[in-house]
A and B are shown apart, each in its own frame.
Chain A
Amino acid sequence: MLLFDILESLRSALRSIRAHGFRSFLTTLGIIIGVAAVIATVSIIQGLQFSINEQFQGLGTNSIIVQSFNTFERRLQGIVARISPSDFDLLSRVEGIATISPIIGGGGSQLRYGSQVYATQITGSTYSYQDVAQVYMKYGRFLSDADDITRRRVVVIGETVRENLNLPENPVDEYVRVGDEWMKVIGLAEEKGQLFGQNQDNFAIIPYSTMRSIAGNQNELDMAIQLTLGNLDQMEAVQDQVTALLRNAHDIEPGEDDDFQVRSSEQLTDTFNNILGSVTFVMGGIVGISLLVGGIGIMNIMLVSVTERTKEIGICKAIGAKRHQILLQFLFESLLLCLLGGLIGLTIGYGIGLAASAAIPDFPRAVVPLWAVLLSFLFSAMVGLVFGIMPAAKAANLDPIDALRYE
């Protein structure tokens, strides 16, 4: 019997919403905007998160990155912290590490081939850097340990560099001039495209030792060091060891802050996800407020609608409508309004997300997770019920005689 009443209430609620098409649309506008905002934000953030996680996956969970770190005060004092080649030698002796790769971001340098000149970022590193940077070869090979040990003048380049230097399709065995040194191209990396507007194919990688030997003043070098662990259980022990060794080497007094950072790749991912998470959270708050306002709008219109239809309610009661039947009719009207608003908002929000991610070059594609869809529907339904119950109860409790007399 209740199911019957629910179905009939739905039918009459639909009829009433259709009869007031434009008003119904205006009523639900608050919900539409709220849900559209949440879905647009979530879809963009989820797209970002998805691609960031993908980026970091290559690092593996068992790696640690050591970088120099300057506090604001120190920078004001003109002190610049560095991770130096001697730090690298020091860390090579830490127990529990499987591989260690130095990464020198040696600033920009000019490359020459024939009459072509092109400036790009030169990185000095070793064999294991291939896994860190996820550089895969299209032609030739990546740096080997032997290249590093013997300080060979060899270079691995990206597609953009090849193009700008007018190198042949397969540039392996060609010679280019890097700064003042002639170097042999041993590999061309696969094209990666762009990420966040950054060209990912604009780089040249040479062996770490080669980089050191041609760099003028070794003490000026600042580098990053990537460690991988043999055993994940030792993560903390290794981090502690590295911290202790570097504090000692950098003469940091107890109580002073580190001038370096030791972070696992998991921590890095976590940091990003935390930022995105708090953005989502803040947006959620804003959206919550807009849904609240939307809900109040719905309640307002429903109250007006009850007053407007007082006579109709009286008629229905006179011909035998019970209280719960009137209640259900109005409750379903506000519920349906909110769900329709939620549905429209969902479509618009996803559209905005897609449009935004398409408009920003190389922005990852918007992703709407199922939980966001369910959550916005659940929230819309809740708003409909919470803000619909009062007008519906008012309608249900009208006295039939007074209602019939109402003009």
Chain B
Amino acid sequence: MSLLRIENLSKEYQMGDNVLRALDGVNLGIERGDYVAITGTSGSGKSTMLNILGCLDRPSSGRYILNQKDVSQMDPDELAEIRNREIGFIFQSFNLLPRASALDNVVQPLIYQHLPRQERLRRATEALQHVGLGARLDHLPNQLSGGQRQRVAIARALVTKPSILLADEPTGNLDSRTTIEIMRLFDDLHAEHQTIIIVTHEAEIARHCHRIVRLEDGRVAEDRRNRELA
């Protein structure tokens, strides 16, 4: 049983009089523990794919089965619940809450799970220690470097123990040295059997993944094992 399965999925946008077909009958299955890169040039449907995989958006047609649940027709609050429990987001621009400390940022998704305060703090602290930020719990985002901010974001994504870690150009705002550190962190997480999907246009990043899915004009143009790693 696949962790997630996409069947004949399409997404259309109305642009004035024209219908823009961002995704056009995509089929894709991802197994537990997979380490997948979704690549493609801009306009290939990457972002739309990311939004639908992340349950931020609903497909126009087709089915999206995540963890045996059909999420393609859920209402916004049900999707919020799925995002909270099943998906850990990592964004290019980190997207941390600016006025909250590193710890409070990581605690935030647990609040939506109605966990008691002590339990939240314990789990958030653990997650931050796991990404190597155990000493910076009380720092505000603007007191942290780019790499550290992305680590906080990764800790926030991991703290709910999600089925999928979904990263959108996670190293796009980082220098090359920090990029290597962050990718090494992803590699480590994969080694711990975390399912990871990275949406990127950089071949350098995709190379870390075990499977590379290339989109072109809203269709899967290529879906291959990463031979370099094999």
Contacts and interface: CB of A to CB of B under 8 A. Distances in A.
Interface of A: 1, 4-5, 8, 15-16, 19, 311-312, 314-325, 400-401, 404
Nearest to A316: B108
Contact of B80 (A19, A311, A320): A320
B58 to A, nearest CB: 11
Contacts of A316: 97, 108
Given A1-B114, A400-B56, A320 B83 contact: yes
A321 B56 contact: no
A319 B98 contact: no
B112 A321 contact: yes
Given A15-B99, A312-B97, A312-B98, A318 B114 contact: no
B85 interface: yes
Interface in B76-101: 76-77, 80-81, 83-85, 89, 91, 95-100
A320 B83 CA distance: 5
B45 interface: no
Which 5 pairs of residues, A with B, have the shortest CB-CB distance?
A: A320-B84, A319-B109, A320-B112, A322-B80, A322-B77
- Secondary structure type dominating chain A contacts: helix
B196 to A, nearest CB: 17
Contacts of A325: 112
A402 to B, nearest CB: 10
13 contacts: A8-B111, A311-B95, A316-B97, A319-B108, A320-B83, A320-B84, A320-B85, A321-B80, A322-B80, A323-B77, A325-B112, A400-B56, A404-B95
Interface of B: 51, 54, 56-57, 76-77, 80-81, 83-85, 89, 91, 95-100, 108-109, 111-114, 156, 160
Given A318-B56, A319-B83, A4 B95 contact: no
A15 B100 CA distance: 9
Contacts of A321: 80, 84, 112
A404 B56 CA distance: 10
B80 A317 contact: yes
Nearest to A311: B95
Given A316-B108, A320-B80, A325-B112, A401 B57 contact: yes
B114 A319 contact: no
A323 B76 contact: yes
Given A318-B54, A320-B84, A325-B112, 11 more contacts: A5-B114, A312-B97, A315-B95, A316-B108, A318-B56, A319-B83, A320-B80, A320-B83, A321-B112, A322-B80, A322-B112
A305 to B, nearest CB: 12
A154 B114 CA distance: 87
Q: Which one of B76, B113, B156 has the highest number of Cβ atoms from chain A below 10 Å of its Cβ?
A: B76
Given A401-B51, A401-B57, A319 B99 contact: no
A28 B2 CA distance: 55
A319 B51 contact: no
Nearest to A1: B114
Nearest to A19: B99
A345 to B, nearest CB: 27
A311 B77 CA distance: 19
A321 B51 CA distance: 16
